[in-house]
Structure 1
Amino acid sequence: MRSIGVAVLLWSALGAVSLADNLDKHGVFTPKKIALGSVPSMDGQSYSGGFTLSAGEPLATLDYDYEVAGLPYFVASSVSNGPVEIEVKYAEQFPALSLNYSDGPSQFTTSIANSRRVETHRFTGDEIGATVTSMLSQPGQRWQSLRLLTGDSITFQTVGLQASVEVIDDLTNLPGKFSSSNAKYDEIWTLGVRAVTAACLDAGSQVPSWSSSEENGTFVPGTRPGISYRTWNLTDYVLNFESQIIRGGAGYTIAYDLTGNRDGVQIHLASEYPNDTTFSNINTTLFPANTVTLAYGYDFANATSMTSYILGQYDVPFNVKENVWYPVEIRVNSTAGNIVFSIDGQQVFDIILTEMGFTDEQLSFYGYASRGEGAIGFGGWQDQASYVRNVTATSLSDSSEVLYSNPMTDESVVVPEFGGQSNAYGVCLDGAKRDRYIWLGDFYHTTRIMGVANSKPEQIAGTWEFLFEYQADYGQFPGFAPISYQSP
């Protein structure tokens, strides 16, 4: 068992490693404008560094002027009546800053980027002058807000993003040029260049967030689950593993269609929410303390054109402690659509998916409807973190038949298997915010502007390298391909 202090140190160390990895490569993004008040505002003044959040002006709106991406960092110079908690939102479009989840969650990310667009940070006197980083990088954004949740006030010396894409403030420095007699055409070209430079990444720029050790297995931050490609065809099985919550809760995915990147059954275990680790903005409606929440779809909240369904909430018959290992068992009868969840030897639910009050059309996606068959994965909700270790799957009918096994202690094995490794090649994605996948159709039109913009042939060639690795024997390319998995 690890203490909270060690867990927090690990959390900070992960951010520090990520920060260092890209510092020399790309530099940092800093806001261009700031607006202080009580609600998000586009009416910002020039950003010069330090600013204070207080009861009179509890919210700062930061405008980066164009699409940026990277690992968020914060340096506080003073804290009054701490601990001070700050809720941070990220968004491509300004109106999203007023939404509960901003413009998230994003369901085509992997664990190398944060699918959540809202996160919380806690500052005490110990953090003054230190660089505090997030656990996960944020994909494309222009806007950012910081809202004071607790404490009297906090003064920030600086905030920004450790860039995971190229920093280009002055487009005249690019190899590609465009100038016409029509100012509107020039602006359209500028938008295209910004889109390409934010959506096309250099090799190694997307850094892992998972880490493994002999003692604690694998550290899993609170983002969209990392899915094991080795379990793509699991059916009629008993899944066993050990889970330890560091903060808030832990997420487990089963029945995921990895080949089609579709749906799945989501299971969330909530802790008892102890005061010393629980943030004041925790969503106890979605995840009450000491409960297991069951959902079908990509997540527990809807994303654009992707509906998720909460199937049920179930009380755990004891208080779920943080920093304590619990054995978890999930029995899956894919033939009957039956799922049984137990923790520490005590059954929490026994359900049949087709009897949960939803239609077959609702519990399907583009014609696919899993009843338990498919891949497994691990993740978590906003601000959460956990450990997982000793994962095994055995046949439902024969417990001696081992279908899958991974102690989760070897990072060189775990990270590539669960889609969390750094991108081996330069690559162009569908867009800066939503995806960490290559979409072939979008790549066709992306290449048309690269030659008259950033002119990085290694990003075009790298995209094809990824696609070649997933090309079928008979020649067909996939419609989309991930950038963070071990090559098939």
Structure 2
Amino acid sequence: MPRHLGDGRAIAARMRARANYRVTHGLTPGLTHGVTLAAAFALAACGGTLGSADSTTPWPANVSAASYLPDTGNVRPVKVVSVSGSVTGADSLLTGGAVTLKYVAGGAAPTVVLDYGHEVGGLPAFGIAAQSGSPTLSATFSESRTTAATGDVSAGLTVSVDPQRASLFPVSATGTLKSSAVQGGERYETLSLATPGEVTLNSVAIQSLYAAPASATSSTPATLGSFVSSSDTLNRIWTAGAYTVEMDRLVANALPLAWQVSAEGTTIGSSGTGIVQKSGGWPSDYAMAFDVRVNSNSAGWTMRDAGNLTSLRFVLHSASDTQGTPNTLELDAYSTFAGGAIKLGELPVAAGIATGTWHSVSTSLSGNTASVTLDGANLGTLDASGAASVLLTSYGSAGFFNLPASQATYRNLAITANGASLYANTLMAASALDDFSANTNALPLLIDGAKRDRTVWSGDIAVEAPTLFYTSAQNDAVAGSLRLLGSYRLANGEVSTTHSPQDPLISTSADAYGSSSFYSTQYSMYFVTALHDYYLYSGDATLLAQQWAAAQGELNYLQTQVDSNGLIAVDASNAQDWLPDFASPVTGEVASTNMLYYQVLTDAAELATAMGDASTSAIYVQRAAALKQAINSRLYNSAGGYYGMSAASMGAVAQDANALAVITGVAPQASAATVLASIAQKLANPFGRLAFSTDSGRTAVVSPFASDMEVRARMASGDTRGALNLIGTLWGTMVADGDNYTGTVWEALGTNGLPVSSQTSLAHGWSSGPTSALSRYVLGVRPVTAGFKQWLVKPQTGDLQWAVGTVPTPYGAIPVKWGRARNGVFRIDVTVPAGTTGTIALPAGGTVKVNGVATTASTSSALDSAGVVSDGTAYQYLNGVQPGSYSIVVGG
């Protein structure tokens, strides 16, 4: 939730009150007639209004730098959407009262749907004021109103996160009932009773995991970023991106321990799956033996688990299980991308499974057959061949999980194959948590989405990190993510691409850990680009030195993938990109992969120079030049004026490949406009741009991730109006009023402008690109040397009248205000922090006065060597600008 600088608790209360008022009156929370709440609070505090300039400035008189932070503490619902069954007092719950739900056997279950007004996340908590009978409280969570009743789909990739979006809480006493597992992102919460009884709730809340940046309470609050312009839509979009990344940022040790270890064993309630991490080289057929005590309802374990993406799941239902068939063993095929579990079969347990008693279990796999024994008795076999529909792998690890309202204790795990031990653990020591990635997150990190996947992905960080640099500047989350990714490296040098935030750092080769952290060749490259951007914005030479060996190893690995044509060629084993297509990925000489490789080589050359390694830098420069020539020779469709999707699909157009060609300079500058025009024509969609042309064979989707690349390509080539039009069309859809509004940005859109499915993340950091683009290009502030030691302020105004904002740097904030008066006079105010120098670019063709003194501007700048013209407007430059405050007028 956006928040103006000041006392966090007071502002949070004001924002909740404002949101409550606006929901009650049918308005979208988080928006004030199109103005961000942060901007509205800033203006209210200063007595200003957006929309008109005063006599001395071309921007509104009292625009204040506003910061965008999530609510902390208990976040409460602001509206009752609907009520059915026996529910009393629902509306009073919003103002401190109580709601009573009563369920009579044979009658209708009571149900109340609550609305938090915007995306929230954390640990669900319920105040139980009274209860009778044996009620079970059911809580269903959803980002979208359309799935509020059933819950949307969350991928259980993190142990501390509840993969179920429909949680069950048996109620046996008064007091606070709090979930032990995280619900990372939701706007809607549906409460009901799953078993007969009566419950009175005097509070319903989400206890946030998200901490406000330390600088929010420091003496220099201006170190936080902000952006406000003459476009209300752009202001909402900037805020949504900033808030999204804060929802996707974890401070160290934020995640609760979902597994509890004691001398009895490891006790697991409803949680995500924890699997043995060191499972590289395991055969497809192995046996898993352990002791288990079902404490409530059921116990669960998993085999052939491919990093929690696909697996075989076994559920042992006790005699008193209220959620499954009592005294049975169930086998499911599970797939993250197929939306959950598919039941394959079950076996009866004639002896029965009493809760509170220990049992020994052994499960063995042989091909598609699973054999299970319980307390030495053979239960029979189950056929797993039906798992083909979820693309179950023939390999994978083993571990434990549990279903809603279930709890079990496990001990004495032994995994064997052909009589040899693969892994053994008593599960009675805390060290077991790291073996299963079930500990808390030791590092501050950036995860991809609030509800899904809640994992660290290198490709997502490539977009999230710049957003963070321009907003809360909590750079430690980027540093922690890089440390985690760089810790896992294969012997061939490839750097990992995805991790649970609960994965521990390692100091040995990652080959022993299997392939689940190594998604694809393309994704492994993002480690280098993220390291480059982190160093550029932070100036942290220490982390660069620590991770330089990992970066060099990645570059060595990538060189081994280059074919005789001078291009990287991928096959089905390493060809996945940002659009998962496990059945038939684009293979061969893929354009986007090679464009990204070119960027990696140029970024690596700059990093090598920073490391004082001129010879290695020269090698990367040479490789980049050869690659550029090969791309233009093999992958450019000269007749169409664009780059083909791959050497084998030259007629198909990929948005990311062509945008990257412009961003990186692979496309000659004279061809940039042609390439971008081809994208606009061939990928046209009412809600932005298709990611792939209809003849590509790929899913028809509007991707904010790929579209961010096009936004940057248009900005970098001077098509500012085109970039702003794309931002307003695509991202404007996400921040518009409606049941899908979350105040955050979505993972993807269908061709109809709606979320693709209930699985789609509606708070996904890789979609936050406009936030950094607006600060970098429209406000105009960008680093030239590491840590903003040298900077360039070059506003690309498009059709905007004014913009005001602040960019945080390691040396202090750079506040900028610019605007164009009605008489055409351009004014820009800039404050330069101590220890830095830079260049201010101004519209060419007018006289220049600095603080009232006529000054001669230069026609060029070494800090803007490309000299890109924006929408036909050339620039003149004030070079060597020293620390201080400047008010600059051009014309008049």
Q: TM bucket by the smaller chain?
A: 0.7 to 0.9
Query: Which of 70, 73, 79 is the aligned partner of 1:27?
Result: 73
**Are the equivalent residues in 2 in contact too, given 1:291–1:315 (CA < 8 A)?**
yes
Distance apart, 1:159 and its partner CA: 1.9
1:327: which partner in 2? 360
Map residues 130-145 of structure 1 onto 2, 5 A cutoff. Answer: 130-145=175-190
Aligned to 1:264, the other structure's residue is in SS state strand
**Are the equivalent residues in 2 in contact too, given 1:339–1:351 (CA < 8 A)?**
yes
Distance apart, 1:50 and its partner CA: 2.1
Distance apart, 1:84 and its partner CA: 3.2
**Are the equivalent residues in 2 in contact too, given 1:207–1:422 (CA < 8 A)?**
yes
Is residue 95 from structure 1 mapped to residue 146 from structure 2 by the alignment? Answer: yes
Q: Which amino acid aligns with 2:505?
A: S
Distance (whole Å) between structure 1 residues aligned to residue 259 and residue 188 of structure 2: 27
1:66: which partner in 2? 118
Aligned to 2:271, the other structure's residue is in SS state coil
1:378: which partner in 2? 400
2:556: which partner in 1? none
Distance (whole Å) between structure 2 residues aligned to residue 167 and residue 143 of structure 1: 23
Distance (whole Å) between structure 1 residues aligned to residue 438 and residue 489 of structure 2: 21
Distance apart, 1:380 and its partner CA: 1.5
Q: Which amino acid aligns with 1:482?
A: S
For the aligned residue pairs, the C-alpha RMSD in angstroms reads 2.9
**Are the equivalent residues in 2 in contact too, given 1:233–1:375 (CA < 8 A)?**
no
Distance (whole Å) between structure 2 residues aligned to residue 359 and residue 62 of structure 1: 37
Aligned to 2:228, the other structure's residue is in SS state coil
Query: Which of 317, 334, 350 is the aligned partner of 2:381?
Result: 350
Map residues 231-310 of structure 1 onto 2, 5 A cutoff. Answer: 231-235=279-283, 236-258=285-307, 261-273=308-320, 282-283=322-323, 287-298=324-335, 304-306=337-339, 308-310=341-343
Query: Which of 171, 177, 192 is the aligned partner of 2:226?
Result: 177
Q: Which amino acid aligns with 2:234?
A: Y
Distance (whole Å) between structure 1 residues aligned to residue 91 and residue 81 of structure 2: 4
Distance apart, 1:96 and its partner CA: 1.4
Change (3 A) 1:352 1:288: closer
1:439: which partner in 2? 457
- Alpha-carbon deviations, 1:304-334, whole Å to 9, x = none? 545643221111122111111010011233x
Distance (whole Å) between structure 2 residues aligned to residue 375 and residue 256 of structure 1: 5
- Alpha-carbon deviations, 1:384-405, whole Å to 9, x = none? 1101001112333x3xx33321
Q: Scaled by the length of structure 1, what TM-score is found?
A: 0.79
Distance (whole Å) between structure 1 residues aligned to residue 144 and residue 339 of structure 2: 19
Distance apart, 1:70 and its partner CA: 1.2
Change (3 A) 1:455 1:359: closer
Distance (whole Å) between structure 2 residues aligned to residue 467 and residue 44 of structure 1: 47
**Percentage of matched positions with identical amino acids:** 23
Query: Which of 253, 257, 271 is the aligned partner of 1:204?
Result: 253
Name the larger-Rg structure.
2
- Alpha-carbon deviations, 1:24-70, whole Å to 9, x = none? x9522222333451189xx9799212221245993332222222211
1:482: which partner in 2? 500
Aligned to 2:363, the other structure's residue is in SS state strand
Which range moved further: 457-466 or 475-484?
475-484
Change (3 A) 1:138 1:350: same
Distance apart, 1:150 and its partner CA: 4.6
Change (3 A) 1:454 1:245: same
- Alpha-carbon deviations, 1:202-254, whole Å to 9, x = none? 1111121101111x210011233210113343334332210111111111111
Distance (whole Å) between structure 2 residues aligned to residue 453 and residue 82 of structure 1: 50
Is residue 340 from structure 1 mapped to residue 371 from structure 2 by the alignment? Answer: yes
Aligned to 1:451, the other structure's residue is in SS state helix
Distance apart, 1:85 and its partner CA: 2.7
Q: Which amino acid aligns with 2:372?
A: F
**Are the equivalent residues in 1 in contact too, given 2:125–2:179 (CA < 8 A)?**
yes
Q: Which amino acid aligns with 2:96?
A: G
Distance apart, 1:76 and its partner CA: 1.9
Which range moved further: 244-253 or 450-459?
450-459
Q: Number of paired residues? A: 421
Aligned to 1:139, the other structure's residue is in SS state strand
Is residue 393 from structure 1 mapped to residue 438 from structure 2 by the alignment? Answer: no
Distance apart, 1:180 and its partner CA: 1.1
Change (3 A) 1:205 1:211: same
Distance (whole Å) between structure 2 residues aligned to residue 416 and residue 114 of structure 1: 19
Distance (whole Å) between structure 1 residues aligned to residue 111 and residue 262 of structure 2: 39
Map residues 40-119 of structure 1 onto 2, 5 A cutoff. Answer: 47-55=94-102, 58-79=110-131, 81-99=132-150, 102-104=151-153, 106-119=154-167
Gap regions ≥5 residues in structure 1: 1-24
Change (3 A) 1:250 1:233: farther
Which range moved further: 107-116 or 57-66?
57-66
Q: Which amino acid aligns with 1:107?
A: A
Is residue 402 from structure 1 mapped to residue 421 from structure 2 by the alignment? Answer: yes
Query: Which of 180, 193, 208 is the aligned partner of 1:148?
Result: 193
Q: Which amino acid aligns with 2:359?
A: Y
Q: Which amino acid aligns with 1:407?
A: T
**Are the equivalent residues in 2 in contact too, given 1:178–1:189 (CA < 8 A)?**
yes
Distance (whole Å) between structure 2 residues aligned to residue 424 and residue 121 of structure 1: 29
Distance (whole Å) between structure 1 residues aligned to residue 462 and residue 286 of structure 2: 41
Is residue 454 from structure 1 mapped to residue 472 from structure 2 by the alignment? Answer: yes
- Alpha-carbon deviations, 1:424-478, whole Å to 9, x = none? 1111111111123111111111122223322211112111111111244554332
Q: Which amino acid aligns with 2:354?
A: K
- Alpha-carbon deviations, 1:98-133, whole Å to 9, x = none? 22xx113x2342211111111122334xx32x2221
**Are the equivalent residues in 1 in contact too, given 2:75–2:205 (CA < 8 A)?**
yes
Distance apart, 1:176 and its partner CA: 1.7
Distance (whole Å) between structure 2 residues aligned to residue 123 and residue 351 of structure 1: 36
Q: Scaled by the length of structure 2, what TM-score is found?
A: 0.44
Aligned to 1:82, the other structure's residue is in SS state strand
Q: Which amino acid aligns with 1:405?
A: A
Greater strand share, structure number: 1
Change (3 A) 1:403 1:305: closer
